[in-house]
Structure 1
Amino acid sequence: MSDAHDGLDPADRPLPARSLALFGLQHVLVMAAAPITAVFLVSKALGFPDAVAVSLTSATFLACGLGTILQSFGPAGFGARLPFIMVPGGAPIAIFLAIGQQTNVRTASGAVIITAVFYLIALPVFRRIIRFFPPIVVGTMLLLVSINLIKIYGGTITGKTGAPGFADPVDVMLALGTIALTMIFARIFSGTLQRLAVMLGLVAGSIIAFNLGRMSLSSVMAGPVIAVPQLFPFGMPIFDLAASIPLIVFSIVSMAEATGQTVATVEMVGRRGRAEDIAPSTIRGDALASLIGGLFGTSLIVTSGENIGIVRATNIKSRYVTATAGLILVLIALFAPIGRLAAALPGPVVGGTAVIVFAIIGVIGIDILRRVDLRTHGPMFTLAAALAMGLLPIVVPGVYSQFPQWSQMVLNNGLAAGTITAVIVNAVFQHTGSIEAGLINEGKVEGQARGTAE
């Protein structure tokens, strides 16, 4: 697969500076909506002031940039030396928010750091752990992620119940219009522009909001131009192992997704060597990038599945392109107006964008569940029990409010409660031999697409 003239794998081949800048910028454009949307939603849900939101935007871009450079160059086995882009994952954001709302943001930051360390501890026994996460579990988890996120971020469209202006028809129409425009762009465009449909929908919705007087840009250029992210922006993290369980559970699925994405990318770029031997480096890169993010107050930072489509579409396989994208992300992190622009985005527009993005996570979960024979006794009861435990705290808030505080950490988190239930019930049926259909072997689980984490 290497070039006959230079003996290099396509992933190792440098490109002219102009090409690096152009293709690197393309990667940034495709992923930029993820950190901006993530910070906006976290800031609104946890009530951060604009100054904190600006700082967190800078920190998120910095963690994504450093993580991307790490995955591209892979020093000391931390990073796959493949063209990977790092983003804040959608599911981790939901879990981070749930922990922050149940406890406080310092505990949520501590959970991120604990989980980053867990990646490294669990990696040697990863293959033994992953067998407890077959498609019935992963699909259920993603479905619950979608429902939980839509419930949380639907509030950015309507505002708080009972507050002045709750469910303002103009705000609701802005959100619905943003969703509609995103669908239109996804339909009329193809290639790279089609993959930018979410960002284009966000931009178009913001333009409409600006013209309606629902968005002000007066603060974007106010203040300093250079921003330096702050370590521990919420104070010293609180390390609560019980509160961290939901993120730790997710990290096991994330390791499987990282393995699948590594296999797909190795095949696509023609990297020599076994993908299974490269995957641990990808996971270590995710761990270190997430640790960096945790120190700066972000959620987990994970490799993005979107870049696989870009590499396939452009046939540009060089990891130096993504390294350049990482450098661009670091420069963006230091440019304060970007953070202030993110803080200025209208809630209904970002909420509309988030709702459609997170609904897609549910679609991915349904697609995974479609591969399971739900007519079989075991899978049917596994899914039913997981949905019951997962949906109960989502649709009936406070149902466990009289339970001990330590148990509420898991029970009140629908995603954690549902996923853990799916793992336990599936294991019981599998152990007793009552469930065979719908379970796949370890290798296939590891091949799940990385996009489920975004």
Structure 2
Amino acid sequence: MSQLKSPLPAVAAVDQRLPLLQMILVSLQHVLLMYGGAVAVPLIIGEAVGLPREQIAFLINADLLVAGIATLVQSLGIGPAGIRMPVMMGASFAAVGSMVAMAGTPGIGLTGIFGATIAAGFFGMLIAPFMSRIVNFFPALVTGTVITSIGLSLFPVALNWAGGGNAASQFGGLQYLAVAGLVLLSILLINRFMSGFWVNVSVLIGMLLGYIISGCLGMVDLGGLEQSPWFQVVTPLHFGMPEFQLAPILSMCLVVVIIFVESTGMFIALGKITDVEITPKLLRRGLLCDSGASFIAGFFNTFTHSSFAQNIGLVQMTGVRSRFVTASAGLILLILSLLPKAAYLVASIPPAVLGGAGLAMFGMVAATGIKILQEADIADRRNQLLVAVSIGMGLAPVVRPEIFAQLPQWMDSITHSGIAMATLSAVSLNILFNVLGGTQRVSGKHHATAH
């Protein structure tokens, strides 16, 4: 009698490989979703420094290059860096306030910003092993609260896009709302009546339809496309040697700590979605990639990098949890960094198109957080208070950014980030109510607050 063969071990969701066409299309969705955020930071800093348009375009291409490299490392893992999960990387908004202030300070400028970015990245690599231990302070109660706050804090971004964006001549105009609504309706109908491949690329289909309609309505601006070169290589130290000054370096080091707090929350959120337990070792790999990307970024004419929260919503929305999808997206970013015309076309996507997709995906992030909160003892009044206060703190800088305007400037990188505020609040209150109260033991395992 022939012996029965043991079945092959199941492939984890993050290690699955999709068919080539599906891989490319789902990867393109990730690129389209994060592209606006990726180009916004170099655009803002370039304008603040007073660079001409062609030099700002160079800054954008430099950011795409580093984002592509960092995304590949984060997704695939190289040496001790990379969390090996579906993570998209790009320039972090946490540093924008500090960098705009540096840009307006005589004697600092771009070279001072790049020097501070390099030094802060090196500082981040030194502290990553210690910061990775804070994962032990993220039981289900804290994790669920943070993930819910991430989703809620992203809603204003989606609504701003849906209304036409900051540059809209008539914010909330019927044409913008109609396009956003059409994109959202397309995504919903595909998820209702179709399955498999079509659901996986539902966001791309909705955005493509929205782009076509926007073009017909005259909402797509391709001005300047002809002047963009076909091919351009990003060269290091394009603006000169970095300058290392103490005050900018200290400011950017604080930014890196805040990025670590944000990234920790996002990695844990992604771990819940992909069924991967985020251990201190795994978190250390992710934080090393964050800080390593920032270190390299300063040499390649760009800024501090971190994982992008909006792409977590896309992972949840499509159900495609493979890290090879984001690795492919990283390759697309590298190609775009060499082809300014192609990058220009992607940048021409109207905000209203992104808004329709964002409403669905960011809501999925919040829904994931609510689901995780069900694992905690949410009937406990103290835990209810923790959730209420932390979500409120997370929404404060989103609803009224000026509420913290009178606080010291060094706190801007904390108070301007809803994710950082919610995370710090949830962790602190959990320590106060549960750890010091003796109802929860801090260990290497994630667990809900004890009943």
Scaled by the length of structure 2, the TM-score of the pair is 0.71
User: Match for residue 228 of structure 2?
Assistant: 223
Matched, 1:248 2:260: yes
More displaced stretch, 361-370 vs 144-153: 144-153
More displaced stretch, 140-149 vs 336-345: 140-149
Contact kept? 1:39, 1:56, Cα under 8 Å: no
Flag the 1:256–1:25 CA change in 2: closer, same or farther, 3 A: same
More displaced stretch, 43-52 vs 288-297: 43-52
Secondary structure at the aligned position of 1:165 is classed as coil
Q: CA deviation at 1:341?
A: 0.8
Q: Between the two proteins, what is the percent identity of the paired residues?
A: 24
Alignment of 1:306-317 (within 5 A): 306=315, 310=320
Query: 1:179-207: CA deviations, max 9, x gaps?
Result: 22222233333223312222221111111
What letter is aligned with 1:250?
E
Structure 1 gaps of 5+ residues are 12-18, 267-274, 447-454
Alignment of 1:293-372 (within 5 A): 293=297, 296-297=302-303, 299-301=305-307, 306=315, 310=320, 326-372=330-376
Alpha-carbon separation, structure 1, partners of 2:274 and 2:258: 24
Secondary structure at the aligned position of 2:445 is classed as helix
Flag the 1:66–1:399 CA change in 2: closer, same or farther, 3 A: closer
Flag the 1:322–1:397 CA change in 2: closer, same or farther, 3 A: closer
Q: CA deviation at 1:376?
A: 1.0
**Structure 1 residue corresponding to 2:421, chosen from 399, 417, 422:** 417
Alignment of 1:164-179 (within 5 A): 164-179=169-184
Flag the 1:196–1:257 CA change in 2: closer, same or farther, 3 A: same
User: Match for residue 134 of structure 1?
Assistant: 139
**Structure 1 residue corresponding to 2:437, chosen from 412, 433, 437:** 433
What letter is aligned with 1:375?
A
Flag the 1:46–1:445 CA change in 2: closer, same or farther, 3 A: farther
Secondary structure at the aligned position of 1:300 is classed as strand
More displaced stretch, 249-258 vs 376-385: 249-258
What letter is aligned with 1:297?
F
Contact kept? 1:227, 1:334, Cα under 8 Å: yes
Number of residue pairs matched by the alignment: 414
Flag the 1:225–1:86 CA change in 2: closer, same or farther, 3 A: farther
Contact kept? 1:21, 1:324, Cα under 8 Å: no
Query: 1:238-269: CA deviations, max 9, x gaps?
Result: 43144454323123335656877998499xxx
User: Match for residue 15 of structure 2?
Assistant: none
User: Match for residue 399 of structure 1?
Assistant: 403
Contact kept? 2:30, 2:88, Cα under 8 Å: yes
Scaled by the length of structure 1, the TM-score of the pair is 0.71
User: Match for residue 271 of structure 1?
Assistant: none
More displaced stretch, 126-135 vs 48-57: 48-57
Q: CA deviation at 1:141?
A: 2.2
Q: CA deviation at 1:434?
A: 5.7
Alignment of 1:41-190 (within 5 A): 54-55=57-58, 58-70=61-73, 74-79=77-82, 86-88=87-89, 95=94, 116-117=121-122, 120-125=125-130, 128-158=133-163, 164-190=169-195
Contact kept? 1:185, 1:200, Cα under 8 Å: no
Q: CA deviation at 1:347?
A: 2.1
Q: CA deviation at 1:226?
A: 1.0
Matched, 1:390 2:389: no
Contact kept? 1:97, 1:108, Cα under 8 Å: no
Structure 2 gaps of 5+ residues are 13-17, 105-109
Flag the 1:262–1:152 CA change in 2: closer, same or farther, 3 A: closer
Q: CA deviation at 1:352?
A: 2.7
What letter is aligned with 1:247?
I
Contact kept? 2:86, 2:321, Cα under 8 Å: no
Alpha-carbon separation, structure 2, partners of 1:35 and 1:154: 16
Query: 1:119-159: CA deviations, max 9, x gaps?
Result: 53344345632222222222222222223322244333435
Alpha-carbon separation, structure 2, partners of 1:44 and 1:147: 26
Flag the 1:59–1:310 CA change in 2: closer, same or farther, 3 A: farther
Alpha-carbon separation, structure 2, partners of 1:72 and 1:170: 38
Secondary structure at the aligned position of 2:390 is classed as helix
Contact kept? 1:149, 1:358, Cα under 8 Å: yes
Flag the 1:210–1:404 CA change in 2: closer, same or farther, 3 A: same
Secondary structure at the aligned position of 2:403 is classed as coil
Contact kept? 1:120, 1:284, Cα under 8 Å: yes
Query: 1:347-397: CA deviations, max 9, x gaps?
Result: 222233333322222222222222222111331121122123333333334
Flag the 1:162–1:229 CA change in 2: closer, same or farther, 3 A: closer
User: Match for residue 37 of structure 2?
Assistant: 38
What letter is aligned with 1:212?
L
User: Match for residue 206 of structure 1?
Assistant: 211
Secondary structure at the aligned position of 1:399 is classed as helix
More displaced stretch, 336-345 vs 58-67: 58-67
